Structure 1
């Protein structure tokens, strides 16, 4: 089965991403299109609330720039730097294809997430 591709757009620019093959990413895909207000956190990520929680999936502690993650069941994260999170780790939702540096700036941003066409 081909992986779902999504487009994440904001006033700062657009990036595409490939979703992971897990229950949480499939549930996210089923929610699209979405608009999420995101805050900067620790100068490594943008975080925002999903309208409903996603199912659980395996977690890991390491992430790289461009990782799309899920901290709690409804906390969507776009990582724009490499790093590591504390236990219990994050659910990997996908990976941005190409540069994610458009999010590497302080402040809030509203993103729209939809299926790539």
Structure 2
């Protein structure tokens, strides 16, 4: 019985330790000359693949005065998509187009894959023109 308790205790500690590490990888930092924000990644294959590409530098353009969009170095796997988004949504349009939405809205079918949600002030991107962002793990 004592051996079972020790084994269970060890398994719980290992799970907590590994879970803490996984949670740290679920947060990213997006930085630019306009400011920095953090974001929590979604739980899907595309977001996990994005995390595996980090660190990244992405040249982003303004599109429709609602989002910044830029090309990833390689395509991400598909995941369920949706049409509606809110300010702060990180999305994937097609398989390699990273998007930071700074306003609420909706996209045409087939929609976007949700990569995550910004937890900071996404309005730093609400300005015309290009911006270079660096995306890295949040520590």
In the alignment, what sits opposite 1:52? 74
Separation (CA, whole Å) in 2 of partners of 1:30 and 1:109: 23
Which structure: greater strand fraction?
1
List structure 1 runs of 4+ shifted beyond 6 angstroms.
none
Separation (CA, whole Å) in 2 of partners of 1:82 and 1:15: 18
In the alignment, what sits opposite 1:91? 113
Which structure: greater helix fraction?
2
Does 1:30 find its partner at 2:52? yes
Q: Secondary structure at the match of 2:49?
A: helix
Q: How many residues align?
A: 117
Larger Cα-atom Rg: 2
Where does the alignment leave 5 or more consecutive residues of structure 1 unmatched?
A: none
Query: CA offsets per residue over residues 69-114 of structure 1, 9 Å max, x none?
Result: 0001000000000000000000000000021000000000000000
Does 1:81 find its partner at 2:91? no
Separation (CA, whole Å) in 2 of partners of 1:17 and 1:98: 7
Normalised by the length of structure 1, the TM-score is 0.98
Normalised by the length of structure 2, the TM-score is 0.83
Does 1:103 find its partner at 2:118? no
In the alignment, what sits opposite 1:63? 85
